[in-house]
Amino acid sequence: MSDMIYLASQSPRRQELLRQIGVRFELLLPDADEDAEALEAVLPGESAEHYVQRVCRLKAEAACMRLQRRALPPAPLLASDTTVALDHHILGKPADAADAMRILRQLAGRTHQVLTAVAVVDTAGHMHAALSISDVTFAPLDDAAIARYVASGEPFGKAGAYGIQGRAAGFTERIAGSYSGIMGLPLFETTRLLGLSGVHCQ
């Protein structure tokens, strides 16, 4: 049994979600010389489902090496990755405002998928993994509305150029699936994986 975990993510949303289910955590972030962005490169012809699970696994493996390298006390660790797909095409994080506009124009008036993979590595080194897939439908948006949203700064650093928990809620018509998964950490699956790793959520 463990009363805390290591979180291999800088996402404030994942931290907020773990607090919501009463999980104590310490951040286990990459060293300065780690190329974390390289882990997120899409392979040619790779499906969104394969991509998000592969990247999550790589993040978990990198975090395990980090844990050993730093000689930290043993505890389960959690890694997660989220991607957005439209018509089976992966839409990553926007590079700049123009890219965010381009992505949001594609999503406007359409239904897309949000895929979040979670992996928990227990203290014996066993990896437990799960995948959450949700459908999100956006209302039609004109360029002025998209430009206002991009100007808010919210799209940056987020897969699909939006955050469901922020202003994007105002143009999200419908979701089918896991709201917390769309935020970046599906709590039902996460609770189950933590339980398998000896961590009980309160």
CB-based burial label for 197 (10 Å; 0-12, 13-18, 19+): buried
- Is 5-196 CATH 3.40.50.1220? no
Please state the pTM of the whole predicted model.
0.93
81 is catalytic: yes
What pLDDT shows up at residue 89?
94
Q: What is the pLDDT of residues 94-144, one digit of tens each?
A: 999 999 999 999 999 999 999 999 999 999 999 999 999 999 999 999 999
What are 30-88's pLDDT values in tens digits?
888 887 778 888 999 999 999 999 999 999 999 999 999 999 999 999 999 999 999 99
Amino acid 1: pLDDT: 58
The Cα angle at residue 117 between residues 129 and 101, in degrees rounded to 5: 175
Residue labelled with tokens 């095409």? 89
Instruction: Residue 24: count other Cβ atoms within 10 Å of its Cβ.
Output: 13
- CA 159: distance to chain centroid? 8
Q: Give yes or no for residue 201 having a pLDDT over 90.
A: no
Of 195, 200, 182, the closest CA to residue 136 belongs to 182
User: What would the mean pLDDT of 4-17 be, rounded to a whole number?
Assistant: 94
Domain spans of the chain?
5-196
Segment (H or E) for 81: strand 77-86
Judging by beta carbons within 10 Å of its beta carbon (0-12, 13-18, 19+), is residue 165 exposed, middle or buried? middle
Number of H helices, E strands in the chain: 6, 7
User: CB within 8 A of 48, min separation 6: which ones?
Assistant: 83, 85, 88, 90, 113, 115
Q: Is the pLDDT of residue 2 over 80?
A: no
Q: Which two tokens stand for residue 161?
A: 């150029």
Residue pair 80/119 in contact by the 8 Å Cβ criterion: yes
Catalytic residue, candidates 3, 33, 35, 81: 81
| Long-range pairs of 39-47 with CB within 8 A, sequence gap ≥ 24 | 40/81, 40/92, 42/90, 42/92, 46/90, 47/88
pLDDT at 202 over 70: no
Q: Count the Cβ atoms, other than its own, within 10 Å of residue 142.
A: 9
Give dist(CA 110, CA 201) in Å, integer: 36
- Six-digit token string for 21: 């289910």
Predicted confidence at residue 63, as pLDDT, reads 96
Question: How confident is the model over 174-200, as pLDDT tens digits?
Answer: 999 999 999 999 999 999 999 999 998
Q: Is it the case that residue 173 has pLDDT exceeding 80?
A: yes
